[in-house]
Amino acid sequence: MSERQSNNGSAFGRRKALALPFAALAARSGRAVAQAKEPFRFGCLMPTTGLEAGYGLDFVKTFEMATKDINDHGGVNGHPLEMVVLDTQAKPELAIPAAQKLIDVDKVPLIVTAWSSVVKALGPVMNRGRTLQLNMGANSPDIANLGDFTYSTFPLADVDVTALANYCHTKMGKRRAAVLYINNDTGIGGAKLFRDTFTKAGGEIVAFEAYDPKATDFTGLLLKVRVANPDMVHMHSLAELPQVIAQMRQLGMTQQITSYSVGYNPKILAQLGAAAEGLIVTSLAPTSTANPNVVKLLDLWKQVGRAPNGLPYLQYAWDTTLVTAQVYGWLDQQNMPLTGENCRKALLAIKTFDLPMTGKLAVTDDHKVQKPVYLYVVKNQQFTLLETIA
């Protein structure tokens, strides 16, 4: 289990402060740079190795960028913010002992997480350990029911998948849908939601098929779909999404393909080429055109030297760091110790967060997050905005 601590992220230049609540906290401390006071630490459980590391490492990088930015602007009331990162490989069996270490050894009161199977597995661990879990990227609808110590800063699938399924039926006129999904918590939850929403809207699900997470050949599965004769195929996949699409197109199947936010990834365009044309995916965060704050994040990534994986997720990673800073700042102002229970109290007391990358976040009793949904379609090898669903 690899571990690293970070309070300054990568070597990025000093940036202008965004108009953020935490900046006000920093200003109140009267310090330009957080150094002298005891650091405030939070945990970060992400896949930094394994199949999902392409996303996980970029999430961690963005947490580091945001943490550095906060510290460059005075930290949290003068306290430097520190992150303790542990690897999960997106696997619950690794995430549970890692979380236990963060709770028992590192004594962090708040842990940021992602990946549905990990977040769901950690729900009971967080409840027992009375430590706050902030989910910043998993979208299984079940996450809303994990108890008092799991909240999301990221909308669950019932936001974007519901919007997508309704759009396909009402706006695109699709009537017969096939749903293919990876057989894990991410796939099962999202696929069921698409099925139920599409059916409720009046459509028919003509095939509903899961595949093994280690599968590389999807021919039989796709032939089953072909026989069912759908007019669209929704894929609730992870890293294997390009392979499924490639094999579908190679079998001569030309149906409309949709996926969720994991499909909004430039690498998919490179792997599929012309076969990606027409693919519709969701995104839960505005682009740099709609939100100039995103330019700052893109500028930081330019210094890394490559396009980041899953930019919308990174926007949530950035904002989740700010939520953490605000929660810690609120507790510091109230002279309350940094515990999981107090972090939960602070989250509910602050209730509304104005965040630079993803907009307003309202913490609600149902543990759900409402955000606008952006639908993108691949046109001429680029993701083009198709519709914004408020």
**CB closer to another protein, 223 vs 362:** 223
Pick from 138, 178, 221, 235 the residue near another protein by CB under 8 A.
221
Q: Which residues pair with 354 in a beta bridge?
A: 360
Between the CA of residue 260 and those of 60, 125, 165, 334, what are the distances in Å? 22, 28, 10, 41
- Rounded CA-CA distance 209/346 in Å is 43
Q: Cβ of residue 183: shortest distance to another protein, in angstroms? A: 4
DSSP label at residue 258: E
| Interface map 10-49 toward another protein (x if CB under 8 A) | --------------------------------------xx
Q: Cβ of residue 115: shortest distance to another protein, in angstroms? A: 15
Nearest of 116, 166, 113 to residue 141 by alpha carbon: 116
Asked if 1 interacts with another protein (CB under 8 A), we say: no
- Rounded CA-CA distance 122/109 in Å is 14
- Of 42-71, binders to another protein (CB under 8 A) are 48-51, 53-54, 57
Between the CA of residue 321 and those of 127, 132, 192, 295, 379, what are the distances in Å? 22, 14, 31, 18, 34
Pick from 32, 223, 290, 349 the residue near another protein by CB under 8 A.
223
The CA-based angle 361-156-93, given to 5 degrees, is 115
- Rounded CA-CA distance 336/218 in Å is 54
Asked if 306 interacts with another protein (CB under 8 A), we say: no
Between the CA of residue 342 and those of 26, 161, 261, 278, what are the distances in Å? 21, 33, 32, 48
- How is residue 8 written in tokens? 């300054």
- Of 248-277, binders to another protein (CB under 8 A) are 249-252, 270-275
Pick from 40, 149, 198, 211 the residue near another protein by CB under 8 A.
211
The CA-based angle 98-99-102, given to 5 degrees, is 90
Whether 91 contacts 50, CB under 8 Å = yes
- Rounded CA-CA distance 225/217 in Å is 14
Asked if 224 interacts with another protein (CB under 8 A), we say: yes
Q: Cβ of residue 212: shortest distance to another protein, in angstroms? A: 4
**CB closer to another protein, 192 vs 296:** 192
Pick from 246, 298, 336, 385 the residue near another protein by CB under 8 A.
246
Q: Cβ of residue 326: shortest distance to another protein, in angstroms? A: 33
Pick from 111, 112, 114, 239 the residue near another protein by CB under 8 A.
239
Only one residue has tokens 């509903």, namely 208
Range in contact with another protein (rule: CB under 8 A) among 17-25, 235-243, 283-291, 361-369:
235-243
Q: Cβ of residue 186: shortest distance to another protein, in angstroms? A: 14
| Interface map 69-98 toward another protein (x if CB under 8 A) | ------------------------------
List residues near another protein by CB under 8 A: 48-51, 53-54, 57, 183, 209-212, 214-221, 223-224, 226-227, 239-240, 242-243, 246, 249-252, 270-275
